[in-house]
Structure 1
């Protein structure tokens, strides 16, 4: 088996037929499609039972209870048999023939993993999104492309479905599975593990994944505590960096991203439930206090004054609350 595609499905009745049809248009004798239904309750399950048996190489697994995206992907990974693997979310889809191109590039390059671009979908609008700046189709050292601090890099492009991965090499490096405690932001520590533990990767300008950004049920839109999983995700990232020879140097990129994300969430906190807003401020300040202060201060020195002011106000408010 050359390729395993892990397809996580949960309450995507409106979109899953398109995703499944795109699998059928990419089917090949040496491809398998592992569709994992995370206990859908909106009618998705009935569509999957109808359509999946008709797709060559497709199998259907149903979770008896809702486990979340990380555990659902891990179930698919545990069942995978392919030399390579990739992902598809249930509300996205592939262009016809995309997977054959992807596998062709991966086989030719010989790298541990390969990153691609994608097509961002807003209703009827389409926008091509390029993978971050890097030499194309060459074996690269993954650690070299975590930074630079002040540029958009692969750490700012944490979409696991925009790539393909060598299953055995990731398994050997203990980098195959996602942390199941994360309900969102699961891709961020996973990619840090890949860039810190793997030997090589490559980049190609393939744009055959269509990614919907206008889905009301997306976890990026939920107003509850799940929005805050980026904070424990970054604790995992800093722990991973602490074990790498270049960890101190590369930690500045992680800190810059963390600070930027905290500010972004503060800017939209009125959309969250009251408890989530309180937890955002409490946990956001706490992680900034807990992480190395020289890295934090070095990061703040390079950021614009508006964001620095918000972060320092957050930390000051937390200190004041703790003192009372």
Structure 2
């Protein structure tokens, strides 16, 4: 039996905690028009869904090899693991949060064929920033003069000026193995590998194709950790010069490598996110020691300000370095202040009084037992925050909870529920001193997160539509969104709830703040809590009697089929426009069906109401409406994900799917993976509900698959998990009950049988008298 031919490329993808990006990364590779490659995706013991996503791709494409390390080893060891599995002619390294541009592998393969398979092939990249900006690299300027030639890199210093990462070059594997290259532990392992390879390579070429889309994370990049792990750079360069000492034939390159090293130190020092103020003096001391120890004989610093900075490093003079840095940036900062600062001051003047009061209140100590709750931008208490609130009253009775509502919603606050009016003086007292903040949207921009305060973002639905930064590609959805301000609001999150892996993956991608799924918290991180949605607990806890009570409260007669129609809003429609003739639908479905119509909360509606049509838009609890309904009809509302927990029929009415998906943007193809029957016109909807398709075997099978994907963590204990973890600080929380072991609240027909039986049984119990 012949062995499988080696592929042209082995693409090693080290991955840790990149569930937000690994799917896009793998798709960018598998979509290449050049197909002679293997992907070795190595999961370094991720605590999120990274490994699961890798396995998903490996199961559907034989070119993907999934490797799971038994213990976390860091980026270098993870790359080594991938190299050990590689069979290709050339090695490529692609980080799990980066992507390849279309046509890239074809361009590399063609260039390698042209150049006779050199030891090393350099290529171009573009920096992709979180705000959508694309930043071209300096590669064409540096390597462009080499042209189409194959050269010895030791004779061309420009190769050493090429951005020192391993992801922008291809390594011939037999050359790589011959020299026994291995990545070291710790940060800056790229620089050591890059320069060692350049010292050993005999042939190198340049491909001018932009191959790599190099993601610049807003937060969360390991180079922005701002701790002593950044000091690993000194050990890595020491190893490089030790390596150089063993190669006297390359001695002429020592001054160049020394200059690259000091430039690298200066680059890090110039970035406060990398080397914060508390570490700068110590970092400069280490840099100065390295300078004096490794400086080549006769080395002359470069001219100008850069040369002065070199000397400042050599002398270890922190004041001189800061003076040079300040002088270099003063003019730009002054211009920026005039351009942006003064208009901001003018806008803030009218709010100065409350801001000053709020600032004074923040000088007072936090109240460890005070919690702030809010929902839907100050509307009536509802949704996940309300479910957390109710559970906290039972599990954390010492805590005092206060709701924030807008003035126009005060009358809807239940009796006995403490509350303050948004932007009132009591409101500023509350947000200044509370320890816990619970909301299903963001609090106002003016809220400052103090040290010790804990913000729980519960969200208010599983995302079918695009959210967060994804909206940038959909101008109608984005509207006038200030994405910088949005990200600043999300920076306050301490915890983010998730109902399923789909949500976890999307939240991490579209809110690119510093986050983790590990159970370790820091002042600049938010933790994804895969607890399920607290508001959905009732779907597993409600009794048959409570189901019947929910129907009775709506006036639904026994034996009547209740159809809940709950559409979402359209960003491209300012006012509510019914997409159904409600009276016709109700008439066609007959007297045994009642149509419950719930418009989206974004609209103020006044629906015509008749006997078979009930306007429930103003009902305070969508969960009670779901309990009462026999079947849900919706378009693209996230209510479908919640209602699926009840394991009752769902019908998708998608009369404008093409328009909605193009204008609003969606995270998956709902029509290809629906939770039940699909209708694309009013006539089709009437036919589905008037026949058997709404609840036949096909609909049941679709719903089962949908529930497996989206009802992952909702099991009736979500609120308890959230309260114990967030409000009580307990690590041990109730484990998620497997889907097949859960029993949802009974459907109305079953409830009509169960509840009378229970009632009759109870009536036979002797009473004390």
Superposed pair shares fold, TM > 0.5: yes
The alpha carbon displacement at 1:200 in A equals 0.3
User: Aligned match of 2:153 in 136, 139, 142?
Assistant: 142
Q: How far apart in 1 are the matches of 2:273 and 2:106? A: 45
Determine helix, strand or coil for the equivalent of 2:300: helix
Aligned to 2:685: none
The alpha carbon displacement at 1:303 in A equals 5.8
Aligned to 2:233: 230
- TM-score normalised according to structure 2 size: 0.38
Aligned to 2:187: 184
Aligned to 2:18: 12
Contact between 2:268 and 2:275, CA under 8 Å: does it hold in 1?
no
The alpha carbon displacement at 1:89 in A equals 0.6
User: Aligned match of 2:112 in 106, 109, 121?
Assistant: 106
Deviations 1:46-88 (A, max 9, x none): 2222233223400111122221111111100010011111011
Contact between 2:269 and 2:275, CA under 8 Å: does it hold in 1?
no
Alignment of 1:120 with 2:127, yes or no, is: yes
Determine helix, strand or coil for the equivalent of 2:41: strand
Q: How far apart in 2 are the matches of 1:106 and 1:71? A: 28
Aligned pairs for 1:40-189 within 5 A = 40-110=46-116, 111-123=118-130, 124-131=132-139, 132-133=142-143, 134-146=145-157, 153-174=159-180, 176-178=181-183, 180-181=184-185, 183-189=186-192
Q: How far apart in 2 are the matches of 1:206 and 1:271? A: 31
Q: How far apart in 1 are the matches of 2:269 and 2:225? A: 15
Deviations 1:217-242 (A, max 9, x none): 21111112221222112112222222
Q: How far apart in 2 are the matches of 1:143 and 1:39? A: 39
Determine helix, strand or coil for the equivalent of 2:127: strand
Deviations 1:238-275 (A, max 9, x none): 22222334533211111112222323333345864677
- TM-score normalised according to structure 1 size: 0.85
Aligned to 1:300: 301
Q: How far apart in 2 are the matches of 1:316 and 1:186? A: 27
Unaligned 5+ segments in structure 2 are: 1-5, 320-769
Q: Aligned Cα RMSD in Å?
A: 2.5
Unaligned 5+ segments in structure 1 are: 148-152, 318-324
Q: How many residues align?
A: 307
The alpha carbon displacement at 1:121 in A equals 0.6
Report the CA distance shift for 1:203/1:301 in structure 2 as closer, same or farther (over 3 A): closer
Determine helix, strand or coil for the equivalent of 1:210: strand
Report the CA distance shift for 1:126/1:265 in structure 2 as closer, same or farther (over 3 A): closer
Determine helix, strand or coil for the equivalent of 1:127: strand
Q: How far apart in 1 are the matches of 2:104 and 2:270? A: 38
Report the CA distance shift for 1:311/1:80 in structure 2 as closer, same or farther (over 3 A): same
The alpha carbon displacement at 1:293 in A equals 5.5
Q: How far apart in 2 are the matches of 1:316 and 1:217? A: 28
Deviations 1:95-138 (A, max 9, x none): 23321221221133121110000121113122332522341232
Report the CA distance shift for 1:11/1:268 in structure 2 as closer, same or farther (over 3 A): same
Relative contact order (alpha carbons < 8 A, sep ≥ 6): 1 or 2 greater? 1
Which of these two proteins has the greater Rg computed from alpha carbons? 2
Contact between 1:255 and 1:299, CA under 8 Å: does it hold in 2?
no
